[in-house]
Chains A and B, each alone.
Chain A
């Protein structure tokens, strides 16, 4: 049994220490956003934020996360009160099937926390570990730029979002 801090809340986790964080999030905590894509760290769909950094949850064992703060897409906002990154992806309609989107959004969120106004080149470089098969890349890039603008307009971020910083 270990304590895992996810989206600002402590959870008692009864899983073997080698269990990748992704399975803990999906199976133990019933969170949908982080997705299984490859289990190999090749596609990025499982990306979450750990202590402000984008992390591939499918290759990060639980044992490494003691005392760290994990943030998933659920921790950023809701449909009713979306975080800027979520609002931006909705406004740009930046999805087709959308399976890869949650991971992309988390890495973009980590980037925007670090660099509030990234260049297009910085965004492309940052998203390099992520695959999208529907070919929605153009919209994803636009959405990240839009999120940067939204964050800049003094949007009050939801409380959970601050825990990611």
Chain B
């Protein structure tokens, strides 16, 4: 984790010799001159927005190397992966460098750690910055050794001449040597020579996590820190009409009750004192509730008829010469679903001499800083956000909100560090959920057994209400002078939000895709792992199986018949082979096989999954027995890390798909703990998961953190259909729904 008091200027002051290499800087500048009339080529990844090499890599005179990333470690293991990338391109031992993650004072502004972008954006930036830094060091060595750069080699942090003379990076580095803008292209190492990249190097964060080390923001203990707990309204928009705080303030250890409009919190010296005071304060608070939530059991009509939509035709392809004669249609629904972090959101904030510091597990230190600064009505420069890992978030959970809560409370206690952690029911009740969605599909099969026309329509809210302005924060919404919730916007394609992966990757002669964007959000929502891709891929890949059945074709063969993308085909073939998929195969009684495939966002990692499921016909209970995945995420940095992500995606998606649904009544969220929002437990864990990686040495990194969610869901649904002969289209595929389908 990041040290609380690290300053970039102090760091830079610590760095080496004062030799300034104007010639090199000039050489770089020269290379950057764009050809006349052409747009300037941009360097790769986040170097395009933070072009200075020393925004990414710092080398000290003693040879110590620090890598800076604006992304946040969320448990995906990329801190280790980035260290591998930098070590590889710098030609230094893995253990000789350290990685500093998102901190508004130290690292580049890389926006959010989201959308499977970390390795694509930050990893690519680090790779190229490291390669260019190494080139600068070699050039400087060539100058000092009066040798040609081509004749020099690098090894273990030194440049070595053919005659054995060597200069270490620490000796070579000049104070501003790396303070140059990146060139558009770099001379990267030949993947065949990789020593660190591509290796399953153990994660750097795991030792502390398995020994009780300081690993999470929840573990931060600053001197004289106090503990705060919140009393949230009982429902959206509820007004605090009365609250006798005097008796609460007299409770043991209580330091202060903080009230600002509908924002209510209590601060105590010890943590459990704060919890008890919160319970007392909760009893004292009187609320007027006004919320009118939609009908939970009728989300189909709520989304497709009651809520107003803005309609976008996002894909149209027509070939009137091709027509189908067998047509089917189907509607698929997804409920609101919870991120369900195991550790409720937490933050520590401290106001010192007008400067606010917040330690937070937000996915975006810069945007969250802007939101908090706006809420506090102070300049962003007076607020610093430091990312410290939290419990896994899988998207926009309560992390940003609790950072805002902590800042608002810390403002009322100048000088004192305040730690705030949400209670379980607050995390479950107030986090912004993954949005409910509806998809309607219609397609026809032609005489050749292929899909002749394809129609797809999706109804959805936006999939990101991240800050974005103070109005995204609960604290700012609840203040006496509240900030309005910002207007929802659809996320632009090609990545998309509700329409993420709505455009089929398959080639159909006629295809029409509509995005019905729903601006009104009756339930608080935001980004959840995979965004719309989870439901869109579930729908497309379920429907592909329905169409394959109609065409009398094998599901794998049917997919390959419609797919031109060579890498996609290879992934499908690999998963099928690993699973032992055979045309005309028959699962044993009460078991079924299912297959699904997608390329996340149609531009990130490819993933195909074959699943075997067991269905208990008496109870309707479905259990994932085994899953075999194949994935192509371009150049692999850490194969074990990638495998871990895909294994996790399969299990998490099985949980979403089989069990999960946020529940609510007319005014309140009613799924507020693990009893009312059950998720997968050990009794439902598969017997086996296999992940086959197709490595693509030298190819760009393709984000893989979310690629498994959709295929895992559809493979499971297809396997249930295979086992029962019944197609289930409404998520989650609960025991009751399966039982009802079997009995129907």
Q: Which residues of A come within 8 Å of B, CB atoms?
A: 15-16, 19-20, 23, 26-28, 30-33, 35-40, 42-43, 45, 72-74, 77-79, 82, 86, 89-90, 93, 95-102, 105, 124-125, 127-128, 130-139, 141
Decide: A97 and B75 in contact? CB cutoff 8 A.
yes
Distance to closest chain A CB from B611 (angstroms) = 14
Bound-state Cα–Cα, A105 to B421, Å:
24
A11 vs B643: C-alpha distance when bound (angstroms): 43
B719 within 8 Å of A by Cβ?
no
Binary interface encoding of chain B residues 178-221 relative to chain A, with 1 for a CB under 8 A from any of its CBs, else 0: 00000000000000000000000011011111111111101101
Q: Return the CB mask of B397-410 against A: 1 if under 8 Å, else 0.
A: 00000000000000
Q: Which of B210, B227, B423, B648 has the most A CB atoms < 10 Å from its CB?
A: B210
Query: Is B415 an interface position by the 8 A CB rule?
Result: no
Interfacial chain A residues near B392, Cβ < 8 Å: 96-97, 99, 133-134
Kindly state whether residue B270 has any CB partner on chain A within 8 Å: yes
Q: Is the CB of B342 within 8 A of A95?
A: no
Instruction: Indicate which residue in B221, B340, B390, B682 contacts A128 across the interface (CB closer than 8 Å).
Output: B682
CB of B77 within 8 Å of the partner chain: yes
Shortest beta-carbon distance from A17 to chain B in Å: 11
B545 contacts the other chain (CB 8 A): no
Chain B interface residue number, banded: 35 or more
Residue of B nearest to A120 (CB): B687
CB of B212 within 8 A of CB of A32, answer yes
Total cross-chain contacts (CB, 8 A): 177
* A77 lies within 8 A of B211 (CB): yes
Query: CB < 8 Å: which of A19, A37, A42 contacts B272?
Result: A19
Q: B685 contacts which chain A residues (CB < 8 A)?
A: 124, 137-138, 141
Q: A72 to B213, alpha carbons, bound, how many Å? A: 12
Contact A93-B206, Cβ < 8 Å, known A27-B270, A32-B212, A133-B340:
yes
Additional A-B contacts beyond A82-B211, A89-B206 (12; CB < 8 A): A37-B344, A79-B208, A95-B209, A96-B76, A96-B644, A97-B389, A99-B341, A128-B682, A128-B683, A133-B342, A136-B648, A141-B685
Contact with A along B632-666 (1 / 0, CB 8 A): 00000000100011011111100100000000000
Quick check: A135 and B648 within 8 Å, CB to CB? yes
Cα distance, A16 to B673, chains bound together (Å): 26
A135 and B75: CB pair below 8 A? no
Asked whether A32 lies within 8 Å of B342 as measured between CB atoms, the reply is no
Q: Are A95 and B210 in contact (CB under 8 A)?
A: yes
Most B CB within 10 A of own CB, among A40, A96, A135: A135
Residues of B within 8 A of A31 (CB): 212
Question: A95 vs B209: C-alpha distance in the bound complex, in angstroms?
Answer: 8
Taking CB atoms, residues of chain A closer than 8 Å to B390 are: 97, 99
27 A-B pairs in the complex with CB atoms less than 8 angstroms apart: A19-B272, A26-B271, A32-B216, A37-B424, A40-B675, A45-B343, A73-B211, A74-B211, A79-B208, A89-B206, A93-B640, A96-B648, A97-B342, A97-B390, A98-B205, A99-B392, A101-B209, A102-B210, A124-B683, A125-B682, A131-B342, A133-B341, A134-B648, A135-B680, A137-B651, A138-B689, A139-B647
Q: Which chain B residues have a beta carbon within 8 Å of chain A's beta carbons?
A: 74-77, 202-203, 205-216, 218-219, 221, 227, 252, 270-272, 275, 340-344, 389-392, 394, 421, 423-424, 640, 644-645, 647-652, 655, 673-675, 679-683, 685-686, 688-689
Given A32-B215, A100-B342, check contact A131 B205 (CB 8 Å). Answer: no
Tell whether, in the assembled complex, residue A20 and residue B272 are in contact, meaning their CB atoms are under 8 Å apart. yes
Closest to B338 in A: A133
Pair A134/B75 contact, Cβ less than 8 Å: yes
Given A45-B342, A89-B210, A131-B679, the answer on whether A27 and B648 have CB atoms closer than 8 Å is: no
Top 9 nearest A-B pairs (CB, nearest first) are A97-B75, A135-B651, A97-B392, A33-B212, A135-B648, A98-B209, A99-B391, A74-B212, A23-B272
B423/A39 in contact, CB under 8 A? yes
Question: In the complex the two chains form, is A32's CB within 8 Å of B214's CB?
Answer: yes
| Chain B: minimal CB distance from A103 (Å) | 9
**Closest residue of chain A to B686, judged by CB?**
A138
* Chain A positions within 8 Å of B679 at CB level: 131, 133
Give the CA-CA distance A82 to B218 in the complex, in Å: 23
Q: In angstroms, how far is the closest chain A Cβ from the Cβ of B94?
A: 15
B272 touches A38 (CB 8 A): no
Contacts of A36 in B (CB 8 A): 218, 343-344, 421
- The answer to whether A39 and B424 touch across the interface, beta carbons within 8 angstroms, is yes
Q: Which residue, B77, B203, B207, B648, has most C-beta atoms of chain A within 10 A?
A: B648
Contact, CB under 8 Å: A138 / B647: yes
Majority secondary structure, B binding face: loop
Closest B residue to A37 by CB, please name it. Answer: B342
CB proximity of A129 to chain B, nearest CB, Å: 8
Q: Is the CB of B211 within 8 A of A27?
A: no
CB pair A40 B424 closer than 8 Å? yes
Which A-chain residue is minimally distant from B205 (CB atoms)?
A98
| Given known A31-B212, A93-B640, A105-B210, contact A38–B673 (CB-CB < 8 A) | yes
Contacts of B655 in A (CB 8 A): 135
Residue of B nearest to A78 (CB): B211
Residues from chain B with Cβ under 8 Å of A128 in the complex = 681-683
Q: Is the CB of B673 within 8 A of A42?
A: yes
Cβ distance A160 to chain B, nearest Cβ, rounded Å: 12
Nearest Cβ in chain B — how far from A70, in angstroms? 13
| Known A-B contacts A20-B272, A96-B392, A97-B74; A131 and B212 likewise in contact (beta carbons under 8 Å) | no
Question: Which residues on A sit within 8 Å (CB–CB) of B645?
Answer: 96
Distance of B413 from chain A, by nearest CB (Å): 18
Set of chain A residues within 8 Å of B680, measured between Cβ atoms: 135
Q: Which residues on the A side are within 8 Å of B673 (C-beta)? A: 38, 40, 42
Contact assessment for A136 and B214 in the assembled complex, using a CB-CB cutoff below 8 Å: no
A19 proximity list for chain B (CB < 8 A) = 272
Q: How far is the CA of A118 from the CA of B722 in the complex (A)?
A: 34
Give complex CA distance A90, B204 in Å. 10
What A residues does B74 contact at CB under 8 A?
Answer: 97
Minimum distance in angstroms from A161 CB to a CB of chain B: 13
**Most B CB atoms within 10 A — which of A28, A82, A89, A99?**
A99
- Residues of chain B contacted by A27 (CB below 8 angstroms): 227, 270-272
**In the complex, A159→B645 CA distance in Å?**
36
Cα–Cα, bound, A12→B208 (Å): 27
B421 CB to closest chain A CB, in angstroms?
Answer: 7
User: In whole angstroms, how far apart are the Cα atoms of A100 and B681 in the complex?
Assistant: 13
Instruction: Report the bound CA distance from A37 to B214 in whole Å.
Output: 17
CA distance A84 to B303 in the complex (A): 53
Distance in Å: Cβ of A109 to nearest Cβ of chain B: 12
Nearest chain-B residue to A102 (Cβ)?
B212
Contact of B210 among A20, A73, A136, A139 (CB under 8 A): A73
Is the pair A95, B206 in contact by a Cβ cutoff of 8 Å? yes
CB proximity of A78 to chain B, nearest CB, Å: 6
Chain A residue, CB-CB nearest to B653 = A135
Closest-by-CB residue of A relative to B688 is: A138
Say whether A90 contacts B272, CB under 8 Å.
no
**With contact pairs A135-B650, A139-B647 given, residues A93 and B208 touching in the complex (Cβ less than 8 Å):** no
- What A residues does B344 contact at CB under 8 A? 36-37
Contacts of B686 in A (CB 8 A): 138
Known: A90-B210, A137-B682, A138-B647. A38 touches B674 (CB 8 A): yes
Q: Shortest CB–CB separation between residue A146 and chain B, in angstroms?
A: 13
Q: Chain B contacts of A26 at CB under 8 A? A: 271
Interface-central residue, A28, A97, A139, by most chain B CB under 10 Å = A97
CA distance A47 to B204 in the complex (A): 24
- Hey, which chain B residues are within 8 Å of A99, CB to CB? 75, 216, 341-343, 390-392
In the assembled complex, how far is the CB of residue A136 from the closest CB belonging to chain B, in whole angstroms?
Answer: 6
The interface residues of chain A lying within 8 Å CB-to-CB of B208 are 79
